[in-house]
Homo-oligomer: A and B are copies of this chain.
Amino acid sequence: MSTATAENQLQDVVAYMQALGRQARVASRAMSRAESAAKNQALLAIADAIETSMEALKEANAKDMAAGRENGLDAALLDRLELTDERIVGMAEGLRQIANLPDPVGAIRDFKYLPSGIQLGKMRVPLGVIGIIYESRPNVTADAAGLCLKAGNAAILRGGSEALHSNQAVAACVKRGLEKAGLPAEAVQVVATKDRAAVGELIRMNDFVDVLVPRGGKGLIERISREATVPVIKHLDGICHVYVDDKADLDKAERVAVNAKTQRYGTCNTMETLLVAEAVAGEILPRLAARYREAGVELRGCAKSRAWVEMAPATEEDWATEYLAPVLSVKVVSGLDEAIDHIETFGSHHTDTIVTEDYTRARRFLREVDSSSVMVNASTRFADGFEYGLGAEIGISTDKLHARGPVGLEGLTTEKFVVFGDGHIRQ
């Protein structure tokens, strides 16, 4: 392609994205005014449209699958890309669940009279326009659209280019549902070009996009965080720890440490490093090692832990690795202080647990560990929007600003001050 052609094309993409942005901004104003009933009606209508379009969705998906096979996508990617009957019904069900959630918008908290006579409160309001950037799974299109919509936002969705036909087919259902409920069709727009320049523009359209939520692998999220000028809600790593204190109930320790590692391997709230107090290492490590062996978990340990259990030596790199696999690093520590230091040094501020019966140590761990979820005697696997009762989850944030931990509808809103007076003036 000649430089001139490439430049024209880039200008086209920029103009296209700017148009999406402008339309989203206009639609976001109508969405912020929409009543709960209209938003719920749209969600249910989208769910119905998805179920009645099952054949069309599968046809569009078949094109993506064929192209994916041709382009040599690996089996895991192809699996994520596929829309089966079950997954299509799952999308519709997810939207119906979102319709059932309470509407966060409009609630006013801390409403009170102040000495000057004005009445002040904080009102929960939509963020405005949310940009979602995600990889191959087309069901994210329905899920993310539903959450943004329920929180009163407009959304611009940019899925993986390998799922373009599938995503556009889902988008058509979303559009029908919005129109049926009398809401603007531009409230949810799915980017219709494979051109990567579209992402570059989306993450820098500060006038039109209020926040980005990237969903996908660490590489994608790192790249977007680095290049975006629009604020990003993200988590990069889930290097979660369980610390078994010497005052632990070892039955609870076994239950929690096994569940935190083996209940699922590929999730960000799965334990990646087990820390064990020296005084109980001889008792608990062999018990745990037997359970992990049974489950097929490979262990890598520090020198002290290898005195009790036969395993490969752990390197410095292991402490900083999110395996997302049946691998666990194990370290014997002298006690609570060393455990907290290790978590501070190598953790990712995601989710960390202490197992202990000691009141003061539990209190210290809760206060001093600087992670989005800090737990006592509970599996790290609980760190999840559904388990936390948020009803839904757009992602998990390990950032400290705005949203931290599992992010549900509330994370897709903000607050503004509202003031009521009766001609009040400042003296």
Instruction: Spell out A's residues near B (CB within 8 Å).
Output: 29, 32-33, 106, 112, 114-116, 118, 120, 123, 125, 127-128, 210-211, 231, 249, 251-252, 255-256, 258-260, 263, 344, 355, 366-368, 370-379, 381-383, 387-389, 399-402, 404-406, 414-426
Contacts and interface: CB of A to CB of B under 8 A. Distances in A.
Nearest to A378: B421
A402 B405 contact: no
CB-CB nearest 6 A-B residue pairs: A378-B421, A252-B423, A259-B425, A381-B426, A375-B419, A401-B402
B426 A382 contact: yes
Contacts of A404: 414-417
Contacts of A123: 366, 374
Given A120-B389, A210-B400, A421 B375 contact: yes
Contacts of A128: 370, 400
30 contacts: A29-B344, A29-B370, A112-B389, A114-B387, A114-B389, A116-B382, A128-B400, A210-B400, A251-B423, A252-B422, A255-B423, A255-B425, A256-B421, A256-B424, A259-B425, A370-B416, A373-B417, A373-B419, A374-B416, A376-B421, A378-B420, A378-B423, A378-B424, A378-B425, A379-B421, A379-B426, A382-B421, A382-B424, A404-B417, A406-B417
A231 B373 CA distance: 21
Contacts of A263: 425-426
Nearest to A233: B401
A366 B366 CA distance: 39
Given A370-B416, A373-B416, A374-B419, 17 more contacts: A32-B368, A33-B368, A116-B387, A118-B378, A123-B366, A231-B401, A255-B425, A376-B420, A377-B420, A377-B421, A377-B422, A378-B421, A378-B424, A379-B425, A381-B425, A381-B426, A382-B426
